[in-house]
Amino acid sequence: DAEVVFVGRSNVGKSTLMREITGHTFDTGSKPGVTRSPNHYDWTSEDFVLTDLPGFGFMSGVPEEQREQIKTNIVRYIEENADKILVGVLVVDGKSAVDIIDRHSGEDEVPYDVEMFYFLRDVGIPTVVAVNKMDKVDDQDERLDELCDRLGLHPPWKQWQDTIAPISAKRGNVDALNEAVKDHLHEAKRDDL
Ligand code: GDP
């Protein structure tokens, strides 16, 4: 089955987003690091599987070693299923993503969000960045331009609406993500013909 995968650091609102999109209830971070089984997802008229990969990053009570293992598992899962994965959705917190990226940028450190964005593209998976919690962001255009810049996409962000999708899962504003994912799904279909 065709698949759409959701990845993101812990607490970015991934569970809230998936609940909003599917109407199903997802465990919210109660068991960090436990891979939940793929859920059938009914976004468009086509059937495809939605895969919720575990949250990553700081999780209280989860030792560094286990966090590395979680990351390894995520990467392995994506590599092994790359053929079936039509779209990757990287969920970030619009309020804090740029700050977190800048804090973790160093000589031998690549921030998780940046690493995951490039990884998905390297394995050939079209990726949408769902920039969540935009209800908490005042200077939205500026913030989205900064995020583009950090991801290596030339601002203005409005040129990247198939990649950058500002949303507020909690408020139910997820149209930008719907549109971006649909574009990629249709593209994938055309390539199949
Ligand atoms: P997860 O760990 O990524 O699955 O994150 P959750 O879905 O559990 O959400 C983490 C927190 O962020 C919760 O307190 C949510 O209510 C909150 N949250 C999720 N989406 C939004 C949003 O769009 N705006 C705001 N302000 N808060 C949100």
**Residues 65-124 pLDDT 10s:** 888 888 888 899 999 999 999 999 999 999 999 999 999 988 888 898 999 999 999 999
Q: Which of 56, 116, 135, 170 to mutate to test the pocket of ligand 1 (most atoms within 8 A of CB)?
A: 170
Q: Give the ligand 1 atom nearest the CA of 14.
A: 3
Contact 93, 9 (CB under 8 A): yes
ipTM over 0.90: yes
Mean pLDDT of 160-180: 96
Cβ(94) to ligand 1 under 6 A?
no
Q: Tell whether the model's pLDDT for residue 171 goes beyond 70.
A: yes
Which amino acid residue places its CA nearest to atom 22 of ligand 1?
133
Q: Which of 11, 30, 60 to mutate to test the pocket of ligand 1 (most atoms within 8 A of CB)?
A: 11
Cβ(136) to ligand 1 under 6 A?
yes
Residue type, 153: L
Cβ(169) to ligand 1 under 6 A?
yes
Which amino acid residue places its CA nearest to atom 2 of ligand 1?
11
Which distant-in-sequence residues (6+ apart) come within 8 Å of 162 by Cβ? 128, 180, 183, 184
pLDDT at 62: 74
For 9-147, strand residue ranges (E) read: 39-41, 48-52, 85-93, 127-132
Cβ(36) to ligand 1 under 6 A?
no
Q: Give the ligand 1 atom nearest the CA of 12.
A: 3
What is each CA distance from 166 to 35, 60, 95, 106, in whole angstroms? 26, 28, 11, 27
Higher pLDDT residue, 190 or 100? 100
Integer Cα distance of 34 and 50 in angstroms: 16
The sign of the dihedral angle between the CA atoms of 145, 148, 154, 156 is negative
Integer Cα distance of 121 and 39 in angstroms: 23
How many CB atoms within 10 Å of residue 147? 23
The burial class, CB within 10 Å (0-12 / 13-18 / 19+), for 133 is buried
Q: Are strands 3-8 and 127-132 parallel, antiparallel or unpaired?
A: unpaired
Chain centre to alpha carbon of residue 156: 20
